[in-house]
Amino acid sequence: MSAQPAFAPSRRETTTTTPRSDAVERGLRLVRPVRSRASKAPFVVVVMVMLSIGLVGLIIMSTVLQAQSFEAAKLDREAAALEIQQQSLTREVETLLSPASVAQRALIFGMVPNTNPAFLRLSDGKVLGKPEPAASGSNIRSVAR
């Protein structure tokens, strides 16, 4: 593209004669056409570098994505395993917190469910109901699951 204007005058030079005599008359002389000295090498290098960068980037991106895909699959498996573990632990906690489990331990300690409800009114310290100690072995004797 940059060479185009340089050739244009030379084309006119070979095809026309009248302008030359006009030029001479006006004190003009023909100059040598400007030769483009710009080398093609840097352009090629730039294109090559850009292509290389693009290609390498693409490879890196593809590799990273692949690696991430493996990582995602691994993390998925880990998450599933942890979820299973969490469910297992939650169930264990629920079992330990269940009334049956608590009562079983309480009975081992000799505790008895109290079926004589009585309350302490905080405003005046009055006892409502008739509190009585729960007799050993009364009501629930063992825990059936």
Binding residues for other proteins, rule: CB under 8 A, are 65-66, 68-70, 72-73, 81, 83-85, 87-88, 91, 94-95, 98-100, 103, 113-119, 121, 128-130, 132, 139-141, 143-145
Cβ of residue 61: shortest distance to other proteins, in angstroms?
10
Measure the CA–CA gap between 21 and 9, rounded to whole angstroms.
Answer: 16
- Nearest-CA neighbor of 140 among 111, 97, 98? 111
Q: Which is nearer to other proteins, 53 or 80 (CB)?
A: 80
Cβ of residue 55: shortest distance to other proteins, in angstroms?
18
Burial (0-12, 13-18, 19+ Cβ within 10 Å), 20: middle
Measure the CA–CA gap between 46 and 35, rounded to whole angstroms.
Answer: 23
Cβ of residue 122: shortest distance to other proteins, in angstroms?
12
Provide the residue type at 76 as one letter. D
Give the tokens for residue 78: 């880990």
Residues 6+ apart with CB under 8 A from 107: 140, 142, 143
Cβ of residue 51: shortest distance to other proteins, in angstroms?
22
Cβ of residue 9: shortest distance to other proteins, in angstroms?
54
DSSP, collapsed to helix, strand or coil, labels residue 123 as coil
